[in-house]
């Protein structure tokens, strides 16, 4: 049994679903452009630089979910999938996932982006297992807060280990483990698997991969 882990944004997607969700809400008039667009770009730049305060970002990203009914959010998300997400899914990314699925590997998307945004995207790839940052909810509606450990940097290791334990597994349960990511933020988890793969890597991850002999691939 083999484990295939996939980062989502800028790895399987040719873009960032977290960033694009806020841009989508701005575009359809739900979020005020003047108040939110600069903040959204600033947080995205901090993420790419490896300096993101994840809790400040989640406060920014999750609070808008609490201001609208879940049914309304789901309707907007359907439009978001059509207009923003589907154009970011490349054929090489689909083929990579299908290759692992055909081999019978346990496939998991593990992403810092929240599970409301990413759940439908994981289903689009045919990936059953999703480990993501979880928005807190009460009675089916979002509170605007995060539930548990954010799935970010070392938090990805914590969340993966918790998920494995729920299935009575550890990483050692698998004869092989692979993790595909584009981001320097995923170096902690990449150092835990047997086969880290730099996919569409940022400059820092590319340099690290080349130094350590990790494969570098393009999914765009």
Question: Of all helices (H) and strands (E), which one includes residue 176?
Answer: strand 176-181
**In terms of DSSP bridges, do strands 106-114 and 129-138 run parallel, antiparallel, or are they unpaired?**
parallel
Is 9 designated active site? yes
Task: Compute the distance between CA of residue 9 and CA of residue 182 in angstroms, rounded to an integer.
Answer: 8
- Helix, coil or strand: residue 197: strand
Percentage helix, strand, coil for the chain under 3-state DSSP, each rounded to 5: 55, 20, 25
- Rounded (10°) angle between helices 115-124 and 70-80: 50
Largest CA distance in the chain: 51
Q: Which of 7, 18, 105, 186 is catalytic?
A: 7
Distance (Å, whole) CA 48 – CA 57: 13
Angle at 85 between CA 122 and CA 28, to 5 degrees: 125
What element of type H or E holds 61? helix 54-62
53 in catalytic set:
no
Instruction: Give the residue numbers annotated as catalytic, written as ranges.
Output: 7, 9
């Amino acid at each position: 049994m083999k484990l295939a882990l996939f980062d989502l944004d800028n790895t399987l997607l040719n873009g960032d679903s977290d960033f694009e969700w806020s841009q989508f809400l701005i575009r359809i008039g739900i979020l005020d452009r003047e108040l939110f667009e600069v903040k959204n770009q600033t947080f995205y730049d901090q993420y790419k630089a490896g300096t993101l305060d994840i809790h400040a970002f989640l406060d920014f990203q999750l609070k808008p979910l609490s201001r609208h009914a879940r049914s309304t959010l789901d309707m907007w998300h359907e439009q978001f999938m059509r207009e923003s997400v589907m154009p970011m899914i490349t054929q090489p990314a689909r083929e990579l996932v299908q290759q692992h699925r055909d081999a019978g590997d346990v496939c998991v998307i593990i992403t810092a982006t929240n599970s409301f945004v990413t759940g439908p995207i994981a289903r689009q790839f045919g990936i059953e297992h999703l480990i993501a940052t979880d928005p807190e909810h009460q009675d089916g509606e979002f509170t605007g807060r995060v539930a548990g450990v954010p799935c970010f940097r070392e938090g990805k290791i914590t969340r993966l280990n918790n998920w494995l334990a729920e299935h009575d597994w550890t990483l050692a349960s698998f004869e092989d483990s692979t993790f595909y990511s584009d981001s320097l933020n995923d170096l902690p988890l990449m150092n835990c698997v047997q086969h880290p793969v730099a996919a569409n890597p940022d400059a820092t991850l590319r340099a690290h991969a080349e130094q350590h002999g990790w494969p570098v691939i393009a999914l765009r």
